[in-house]
Amino acid sequence: MTVDYPARFVHFGLGKCASTFLQNVWALDPAYTCVRLDDTAEGIRSLALKGPPDKLPDFHLSAQPKPNQTMIATSEGLSWGFLTSPEHQHLVPELQKMAAHLIGRAKTARTALVMVRNPLDWIRACHEQSIKEGLSDNGKDFIGKNRQLIKSVLDLRHIYKCLDPYFETIVFLSSDQLRQDPKSFWKAYETLLEAPKPKRKTFKAISANDNLANTSLKDRLQPLAMLNRQFSTIEQTWESLSDIPGFVAKERENNLPLFQKSSTWAARRVVEFAPDEDLEKICGTLTPQMEDDFCTIPIDDDLKDHLAHNYCDILEQRSQISPNLLEAYKADLNLKTCIA
């Protein structure tokens, strides 16, 4: 019996591998109908927190492609989560398994797309993302707290095993190739995914709109961490106040959740968009001391072995990325003892 798959492919992530860029491309390009699966990913995350159910709910992609368009479905949340809650990161492999089962069983698409990049660069980008989301751990503390997340998200062996029963084709493409050699990337994309290359005007529209990017903070990473630490200190002190009048306790109950949410976004947007002189003025009034090696992330042999066996080996066996890129990934793992 012929199966009518509604989507050409499902993009499962990985997060921090050009997901924002690609989703903007698919949303804007006239050749595509882009269906976001973020709510589905959030639902799967909730199921994982409660414990795997005996029977997963049914999933059905009800959207239909517009005339003469290719429909795809996407959410990087299908392959990762819990960045700011390390106590739940052991659930990521189960989240990945449920996502593949739920969406694959529904015959959503024949093909699954997984984007990858240099694994050490991914760890650095993940550290930065944690700071964008309100945290302030230095590199050493970050990898200590998030080791489970890193191992799980960068376990392509497990991800492949989850997807393989439900998808006829699993395509690995590299965001490094997209950045360094876009011509060859889009040629591989067209061939392997049987999907049209987006129009040049789509790329121009995205390049001209800063609001569509999730750009690196570069030398503003530490100022954001400083602000996050300061706000976190205020929050913790406010939350721990005791022997306070009833009206102050009630006021805290009403306003602390608002402070927790708004302070994260206030700090991030100030760091992203404030002029240098304003940012210097703000940081000059802050007391948190930032470590000299704040951005340095140590990489031990155990983690290197995990990445070599469960990431690079799978790409060598299963992927269609440039051999030169893969050799560069391996060389970094062999030579580097830290990410700076």
Mean pLDDT on 47-64: 84
Q: How confident is the model at residue 291 (pLDDT cuts 50, 70, 90)?
A: confident
Domain assignment of residue 1, yes or no: no
Q: What is the pLDDT of residue 280?
A: 87
Distance CA 228, CA 223 (A): 9
Per the omega criterion (within 30 degrees of 0), is the bond before 14 cis?
yes
305-323 pLDDT tens trace: 999 999 999 999 987 888 9
| Pairwise CA distance, residues 315 & 165, whole Å | 18
Residue 293 lies in a domain: no
Q: Do 212 and 235 belong to one domain?
A: no
Statement to judge: residues 20 and 169 lie in one domain: yes
- Same structural domain, 190 and 247: no
How far is the first Cα of the chain from the last one, in angstroms, to the nearest whole number?
Answer: 54
Distance CA 127, CA 237 (A): 25
Is residue 280 in some structural domain?
Answer: yes
Within this chain, do residues 159 and 103 fall inside the same structural domain, yes or no? Answer: yes
24 and 119, same domain (yes or no): yes
Confidence of residue 288 (pLDDT cuts 50, 70, 90): low
- 243 and 309 belong to one structural domain: no
Check whether residue 235 and residue 158 sit in a common domain: no
Q: Which amino acid is at 186?
A: W
In a domain, 140, yes or no: yes
User: How do beta strands 297-298 and 338-339 pair?
Assistant: antiparallel
pLDDT, position 43 = 94
Together in a domain, 69 and 209: yes
DSSP assignment of 197-240 equals PPPHHHHHHHHT-GGG-----GGGHHHHHHHHHHHHHHHHHHHH
Q: State yes or no: pLDDT of 213 exceeds 70.
A: no
What is the C-alpha separation between 259 and 265, in angstroms, rounded?
10
Q: Do 211 and 222 reside in the same domain of the chain?
A: no
Name the residue range of residue 229's domain: 218-284
Within 10 Å of residue 68's Cβ, how many Cβ atoms?
A: 7
The structural domain count of the chain equals 2
Mean pLDDT (whole number) for 120-133: 96
Phi first, then psi: what are they for 298, rounded to 5°?
-70, 145
Could you read off the pLDDT of 130-182 as tens digits, one per residue?
999 999 999 999 999 999 999 999 999 999 999 999 999 999 999 999 999 99
Map 137-148 to HEC letters: CCHHHHHHHCHH
Q: Is residue 108 in some structural domain? A: yes
- Region of 218 please: left (phi>0), alpha (psi -120 to 50) or beta: left
Same domain, 19 and 139: yes
Q: Mark whether 226 and 319 lie in a shared domain.
A: no
Question: Is residue 294 domain-resident?
Answer: no
Q: What is the CATH number of the domain that holds 198?
A: 3.40.50
Residue 65 forms part of a structural domain: yes
Q: Residue 181 CB: number of other CB atoms within 10 A? A: 16
Mean pLDDT of the chain: 93
> Which residue matches tokens 């659930």?
91
In a domain, 22, yes or no: yes
Same domain, 78 and 117: yes
